[in-house]
Amino acid sequence: MTTATLLVRAVPPQAVRELLVRDDAGRPAVPFADHEGGAPLRCCLRRSRPGERIALVSYAPLRRWAAETGVDPGAYDEQGPVFLHAEECAGPEGEDLPFTSAHRVLRRYSADGRILGGRPVQTPEDFAPALREAFADPAVALVHVRAVEYGCFLYEVRRG
């Protein structure tokens, strides 16, 4: 998914396959039917529908990015819960920024995996300007969009 010159990245399909076998905390996934729906799925960046089979797994987004780029995330390596489809899905659809209907934090990271700061966003209209501001700083390599209420990772944004 792209938004102008930014690339919005869901949890990549290969990582989803790995996480459904053993998550980043070393535990096997336990799929279940989401009877209510509404879980924020990080594989396709939409909310689950009632009855869909999903799994809640531990995911270490900065660790995986660091492995891809050859960086040591040091103490900033963290893992947290994310919902995924329990079976392969088609991935994100559309060009809109996902999960913008609630307060979020945009956490900025440098190319060496260090936190450069964060910015809360409160309305859907705040997202694009806040991301443009983040990437106006050449030191920013990526941004994590996170939930305010739990701190959970929602998705990653990189330069497109």
- Cα separation, 123 vs 131, whole angstroms: 13
Predicted pLDDT of residue 151: 85
Predicted pLDDT of residue 71: 94
pLDDT tens track, the chain, 160 positions: 555 688 999 999 999 999 999 999 999 999 999 999 999 999 999 999 999 999 999 999 999 999 999 999 999 999 999 999 999 999 998 888 999 999 999 999 999 999 999 999 999 999 999 999 999 999 999 999 999 988 899 999 999 8
Read off the pTM: 0.92
Contact 23/57 with Cβ under 8 angstroms?
yes
Q: Which of 88, 90, 94, 102 is nearest to 40 (CA)?
A: 102
Q: Which of 107, 102, 116, 108 is nearest to 149 (CA)?
A: 102
Q: Which of 78, 59, 55 is nearest to 15 (CA)?
A: 59
The greatest distance separating any two alpha carbons of the chain, rounded to the nearest whole angstrom, comes to 44
Q: Is 131 helix (H, G, I), strand (E, B) or coil?
A: helix
Reading phi first (left if > 0) and then psi (alpha if -120 to 50, else beta), residue 4 is in: left
Predicted pLDDT of residue 96: 85
Under DSSP, the state recorded for 71 is -
- Cα separation, 151 vs 142, whole angstroms: 17
Predicted pLDDT of residue 3: 56
